[in-house]
């Protein structure tokens, strides 16, 4: 049973550039959430996608956008990169339709460095 996968593992970008991160959810899951984890901090919720729509959004600027595809995989896009965007970006998947199942399974993350 495949877990949550993310690509790439590491990425280095320059200020002002744009980046796209990818996530494949755990097999059977239909919901993908994205989190940003700065060094030494807990993950911060960016947004969640279900049925190809943004279902919930955290306190992140519009430079952060996403997409979910019919196969439930997802992309996170960040435009006009800032140094402060350097972080570990985590993807978590879950099965929204399963009543009472709250658990979100996390992938290994993508380490983004902005120089």
Partner 1 sequence: GESVGLHLPTLSVQEGDNSIINCAYSNSASDYFIWYKQESGKGPQFIIDIRSNMDKRQGQRVTVLLNKTVKHLSLQIAATQPGDSAVYFCAENTQAGTALIFGKGTTLSVSS
Q: Which residues bind partner 1 (CB under 8 A)?
A: 4, 31, 33, 35, 40-45, 48, 56, 58, 90, 92, 94-96, 99-109
- Beta-sheet strand order (sheet of 19-24): 5-7, 19-24, 74-78, 64-68
Minimum distance, C-beta of residue 100 to partner 1, in the bound complex (Å): 7
18 vs 27, beta carbon nearer partner 1: 27
Q: How far is the CB of 110 from partner 1 (least distance, A)?
A: 10
From the CB of 16, what's the least distance to partner 1, in Å?
28
Residues 6+ apart with CB under 8 A from 62: none
In the complex with partner 1, the residue whose CB is nearer, 14 or 102, is: 102
Q: Are 95 and 31 in contact (CB under 8 A)?
A: yes
> How far is Cα 41 from Cα 29, in angstroms, rounded to an integer?
27
């Amino acid at each position: 049973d495949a877990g949550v996968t993310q690509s790439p593992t590491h990425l280095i970008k320059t200020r002002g550039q744009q980046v796209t991160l990818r996530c494949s959810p755990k097999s059977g899951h239909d919901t993908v959430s994205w989190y940003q984890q700065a060094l030494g901090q807990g993950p911060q919720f960016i947004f969640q996608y279900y049925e190809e729509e943004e279902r919930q959004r955290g306190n992140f600027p519009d430079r952060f956008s996403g997409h979910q595809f019919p196969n439930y995989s997802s992309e996170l896009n960040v435009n006009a990169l800032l140094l402060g965007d350097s972080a570990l970006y985590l993807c978590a998947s879950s099965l929204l339709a399963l009543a009472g199942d709250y658990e979100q399974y996390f992938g290994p993350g993508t380490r983004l460095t902005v120089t």
